Amino acid sequence: MRYTATVRRKPDTTDATVRLKPDTTYAQNQYAPGATRRSIDPYVVSGFSRSATWIVAIACVLMVACARPGSESPSPVAPASTAALRPLTLPDLSHMDAAVQEQMRATHVSLTTKIGEARPPGELAEAYGEMGSLLLAAEYFDAAEPCFLNAQALAPRDSRWPYYLGHVYRTRGEPANAARAFEQALALGPPDVATLVWLGVAYLDQGKPESAARLFERALAIEPRSVAAWFGQGRAALASREYGRAAASFEQALAIDPRASIVHYPLALAYRGLGEVDKAEAQTRQRGNVEVGPTDPRMQALGSLLHSATAYEKRGLRALDGRDWASAAAAFRKAVEIAPANATLHHRFGTALSLSGDTRGAAEQFQEAIRLVPGYAPAHFSLGVLLASSGRPAEAIERFAAAVRYEPDNADARLQLAAALGRAGRYQEARNQLVEGARLNPERAEFTSLLQQFRPTR
């Protein structure tokens, strides 16, 4: 299971994913880049040089099969002619990390060199695909599109290129184009969960719940514990007003992964449709924005292509989710080397170090995060956990108090503060924290339960 980890660059200062309990931090991974648009340089490279005219001899009109899911293999097609290829426009890279700029330019030079040398279609397809993959990973969706279209034209039997095109269109909010691309990818190879789920999502976005439901059922037949497929099946049932089936699907998704908080709100709608108002209200209180997506090896690999802090951060998050603490620490170490002023990265690095047993190194990273952003509540909380576990209760209380001061609705920090105050014999203060926590976080039953058990010693 993996999570959204996208290529977005805004540090998440409130995400519980950086806390010290990995079991409660991540929802199933998805690749969900934001659909940002970027300015374009006037530098344009044509599809082929004049010396590439020999390829015309094998030219035919590109006919990429638009088969429906589950159809037979597409009809044989040949590589496209040079005239069918689109020019590649290199985007403005000025805002990217220097290492990424160099990587992009080197890949671009390699591509143009191969074009000039009139390399065989398969080799050129790989070169266009590599360029498109880097651009997609960096969220240059408009620039990535012609690369994948050219790669698809040159290697029409390769399912990677329509698959990546599907994600380009999905992130640009073009569900009809995304559906066509995912249909092509699905027709070119054995069915896989990721393609089935993303195609189902594209159908849902077009108002086709019946078609989507069939795809989610196929995905669940392959991977019965796919949270994304259960969630999609619930959405399809909800759109068809099959409230009982929708509720059962959403409940199954949460049973597999309780951290998928985005499921709570549609589950509330299903309960409301069933007339179960109390259940609906309880789910509404737990609504969140932790999304779910299928296990997607292709997109995960894509996210690791860039030599940037964001790419290393994504690798670290995947390693944390897989409980590979050493690999997570190595990835976050690279990330902070590239972006030393990013408090979130220092905090995540400290989390990985703590989980791997290096508490001293972890404390140093948490302290650095606080130095960079004094109001960064997660770092105060994590440092407090380390201090409490090392027998330094007074210092731990200071850190927990800072965490709730900067982030009042941080339920975990307030619970830890109440516990630390209670152990220190400061019972009234502990009770006050539980009362405030119950007020700010009514969905967290721990506060009410502890208050009921609270027996201050006089």
pLDDT reading at 127 higher than 60: yes
Residue 75, number of CB atoms within 10 A of its CB: 9
- The CA dihedral of 382, 385, 389, 392, to the nearest 10 degrees, is 100
Category of 173 on φ-ψ map: left (φ > 0), alpha (ψ -120 to 50) or beta: left
pLDDT reading at 6 higher than 50: no
Range with lowest mean pLDDT among 9-23, 105-119, 394-408: 9-23
Contact 404, 440 (CB under 8 A): no
Q: Shortest CA distance to 418 belongs to which of 403, 405, 437?
A: 437
**pLDDT of 95:** 82
**pLDDT tier for residue 310 given thresholds of 50, 70 and 90:** confident
3-state secondary structure of 45: strand
**pLDDT of 96:** 81
Q: Report, as an integer, the average pLDDT of 58-84.
A: 41
The more confidently predicted of residues 308 and 206 is 206
- Quick: pLDDT tens for 34-49: 333 333 222 223 333 3
Homologous superfamily of 31-189: Tetratricopeptide repeat domain (1.25.40.10)
Give the phi and the psi of residue 136 in degrees, each rounded to 5.
-65, -40
Q: Shortest CA distance to 76 belongs to which of 100, 60, 52, 56?
A: 60
d(CA 298, CA 169): 16
- Quick: pLDDT tens for 336-357: 998 899 999 999 999 999 999 9
The β-bridge partners of 40 are: 91
Side-chain half-sphere exposure of 340, counting CA atoms within 13 A: 1
**pLDDT of 455:** 61
Amino acid at 11: P
pTM: 0.64
Question: Given this structure, which CATH class describes domain 308-453?
Answer: mainly alpha
**pLDDT of 336:** 95
CATH architecture of 205-307: Alpha Horseshoe (1.25)
Question: Above pLDDT 90, what percent of the chain?
Answer: 63
Q: Report, as an integer, the average pLDDT of 59-86.
A: 45
**pLDDT of 100:** 86
**pLDDT tier for residue 289 given thresholds of 50, 70 and 90:** confident
For CATH 1.25.40.10, list the domain ranges present in the chain.
31-189, 205-307, 308-453
- Quick: pLDDT tens for 259-285: 889 999 999 999 999 999 999 999 999
Paired tokens of 54: 């020999």
Q: Report, as an integer, the average pLDDT of 3-14.
A: 33
Q: Report, as an integer, the average pLDDT of 397-412.
A: 95
Amino acid at 276: E
**pLDDT of 80:** 54
Question: How high does pLDDT run on average in the chain?
Answer: 82
- CA 359, 362, 368, 369 dihedral sign is negative
pLDDT reading at 386 higher than 90: yes
**pLDDT of 69:** 37
- The CA dihedral of 173, 177, 178, 182, to the nearest 10 degrees, is 180
Long-range contacts: 174-180, Cβ < 8 Å, 24+?
175/202, 175/203, 175/205, 175/206, 176/202, 176/206, 178/202, 178/205, 179/203, 179/206, 180/66
3-state secondary structure of 59: coil
pLDDT reading at 79 higher than 80: no
Amino acid at 292: V
**Residue 159: DSSP 8-state:** T
Q: Report, as an integer, the average pLDDT of 304-319.
A: 84
Paired tokens of 48: 């082929």
Range with lowest mean pLDDT among 207-221, 366-380, 441-455: 441-455
